[in-house]
Amino acid sequence: MFCFPPFKNRSSKMAKPFPFLRLPLELREQMYSHYFLPADRLQACEYYGGGQYSFDFSLYHVNKQIYCEAQTVFRRENIFVRIETPWPQAVNHISHEGLCPIVAAHDTADSFQHHHALVQISAPAHLIAPAHSVIVLLDDLHLFCQVWYYSALNYETLNHHLSVTFNLQNPYYPADPKPIPIALQKRLLLPFGVVKELDEVEVSGYDKEVQDELDALMKIPYDTPQKCCEDATALMESGDKTLAEGKPEDALQTYTKAFHAIHVIIMGRTRRVLADQFFHKGIDAGRYKGQTGTTVRIILRIMLVARVVNAYLKLQQYEEATFWGMRSIKIMRSTVGTEFEDFLIEVAGMLDVGLLYLRTGVSLMRMEESASHELVAYTDDEDVGTSEKCFRFAKRFLKGEHQKLIKKELEGNKVEVDESFWLDSDSKSDVDSMAPMHQDEAEGNGQADVIFQVWQASQY
């Protein structure tokens, strides 16, 4: 009978072995499930941005009964997908760009045979075969498909050269294969619905119903830059309403969805800005008619970051508020310096940049009051490394009629700053947030180039 070994640091009363196998099977299976939980087996890796799973199978060696029970649970709850590509750098791309965790890659993946789905990507016209393998968990498959989706947006003709074969198999009963449930088939195949305009698609082993559904998804065209920007704006406005209702956590989730709508992916403190080339088009209809997708996207990002910082302030998570605020402030100031800020003052986004500085100043002040250990990450910045410096920059952007917002923001966060510090003789605001900007004007004076230079540095 298997018993858990006693722990040395426990009292003598706890040292008696526990009769594990006397528990009902349902409870034992729950314990196996927790033991193999992928989230607990994901380890940071210098080679893979999304990390790599490291499953521990020591439990299999206890005895035959536990081996059989634990293996059954592991196989039931961990479904694997094998992806074969022509490019050796693909594994780094999907892990670094898409933050997709890796189970195995290269030689280890080549010998892996416990996958339910095989995806083979090739470029027949160029005589390129799928010679490099990577194994991912089914639960992470959407991240792989997401990377492919954004790559195709950046390079419009990419998929025109690619052929993909999808094969389904039951890896554990090859001699007497059992039918794979339709629900599982859909989970294995339908995430690839975001991959469109492929040269050729072959599907083997899947039910026709699932194949037809994949075909229908692949025929849905990509959203346009106009729709992406308008969707992000609608989500941002929804988040504002949610925040006003006193639900900052829900508002944060909505703001994250708004970022996602303009192809900015956020996971924890990591942010990926994807599909830049896709937005290098003019918008010829809707609320942003006459502007470039790049310009609208940048200003939306500024507006969203200012709101994210505000939501973290409401949650009193000052380190998070400062992290996201300072991250964007440093990007704005580092690449082309004051030229970009002059653009913001004269053309668009002034109010939101001012609020970003102001709210980041508030969060820095709270960190200064509590002597937060994270302050050291910002104090070396001579320009904006303290709350007072952030407040001075906020004053530059919040002029005239916008100065009333300063008082409202400070009172809302219970911050006291000498009112004379904010006095400004300028009675007029330079420009409202998201002021219309004609594409020809932006390109004519080089401002569009300035924007791109600054924000292309903000990929990570």
Mean pLDDT confidence for 411-431: 63
CB-side neighbour CA atoms (13 Å) of 167: 12
Percent of the chain with pLDDT over 90: 56
Predicted confidence at residue 393, as pLDDT, reads: 87
Of 108, 80, 107, residue with least CA distance to 169: 80
How much is the pTM? 0.79
pLDDT tens per residue, range 6-37:
444 545 555 678 888 999 999 999 999 999 99
Examine the pLDDT at 199 and tell me if it is beyond 50: yes
Cβ neighbourhood burial of 61 (10 Å; 0-12, 13-18, 19+):
exposed
| pLDDT level of residue 379 (50, 70, 90 thresholds) | confident
Which range is least confidently modeled, 8-12, 92-96, 119-123?
8-12
- Is residue 51 over pLDDT 90? no
pLDDT given at position 441: 40
Q: What is the pLDDT of residue 440?
A: 41
Token duo for residue 86? 């022509």
Strand 163-168 to strand 200-204: parallel, antiparallel, or no bridges (unpaired)? parallel
The percent of residues in the chain predicted with pLDDT above 70, rounded, is 83
In this prediction, residue 268 has a pLDDT band, given cuts at 50, 70 and 90, of confident
Give pLDDT tens digits for 301-335: 999 999 999 999 999 999 999 999 999 998 887 75
pLDDT band at 345 (very low <50, low <70, confident <90, very high): low
Paired with 202 in beta bridges are 165
E strand or H helix at 271, and its extent? strand 270-273
In DSSP notation, 79-128 reads -EEEEEES-TTHHHHHHHTT---BSEEHHHHHT----SEEEEEEBGGGTB
pLDDT of residue 49: 67
Long-range contacts made by residues 387-390, C-beta under 8 angstroms, separation at least 24? 387/361, 387/362, 388/361, 389/361, 390/329, 390/357, 390/358, 390/360, 390/361, 390/364
DSSP codes, 291-303: SBHHHHHHHHHHH
By C-alpha distance, which of 153, 45, 124, 140 is closest to 92? 45
**Is the confidence at residue 444, as pLDDT, over 50?**
no
Calculate mean pLDDT across residues 39-49: 78
CA-to-CA separations, 138 to 76, 78, 151, 207, 384, in angstroms, rounded: 12, 7, 21, 18, 44
Stretch among 237-241, 256-260, 339-343 having the lowest mean pLDDT: 339-343
Q: Which amino acid would we find at residue 325? A: G
Q: What is the pLDDT of residue 417?
A: 72
